[in-house]
């Protein structure tokens, strides 16, 4: 059974730091993996989608990597800003299914 884990559950860093958020999964048979941002009381915003055949995706200060063999994905945020404060969710679509499975998220706080 596929399980998705995000560690740490919460993270607080000073502004300007580069940081890495982790997502691990138990079954490497996936179609894709997606990172989302969720602001308090607000909706989901898709940040980066990595297809199964890809190793990484980049958008601005964000870089997401995927290593299926080790069951890990990381979201790298460069030069963090207070506006990056939010919950970051990792979700993936296992092969042979239509059910997205999500982690519980990492709550990030970037201090000014």
Partner 1 sequence: GAVVSQHPSRVICKSGTSVKIECRSLDFQATTMFWYRQFPKQSLMLMATSNEGSKATYEQGVEKDKFLINHASLTLSTLTVTSAHPEDSSFYICSARYRGNYNEQFFGPGTRLTVL
According to CB under 8 A, which one of 25, 35, 36, 88 is a site residue for partner 1? 36
Report residue 27: phi and psi, to 5°.
-125, 125
Place of tokens 């980066």: 48
CB under 8 A: which stretch of 11-19, 63-71, 75-83, 85-93 binds partner 1?
A: 85-93
Q: Which is nearer to partner 1, 32 or 74 (CB)?
A: 32
| Distance of alpha carbon 97 from alpha carbon 99, whole angstroms | 6
According to CB under 8 A, which one of 33, 86, 89, 110 is a site residue for partner 1? 89
């Amino acid at each position: 059974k596929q399980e998705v884990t995000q560690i740490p559950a919460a993270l607080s860093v000073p502004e300007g730091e580069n940081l890495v958020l982790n997502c691990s999964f138990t079954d490497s048979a996936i179609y894709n993996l997606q990172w989302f941002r969720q602001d308090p009381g607000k909706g989901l915003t898709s940040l980066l989608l990595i297809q199964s055949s890809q190793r990484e995706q980049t958008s601005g200060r964000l870089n997401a990597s995927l290593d299926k063999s080790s069951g890990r994905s990381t979201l790298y945020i460069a030069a963090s800003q207070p506006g990056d404060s939010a919950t970051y969710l990792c979700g993936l679509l296992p092969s042979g299914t239509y059910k997205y499975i999500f982690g519980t998220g990492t709550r990030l706080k970037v201090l000014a």
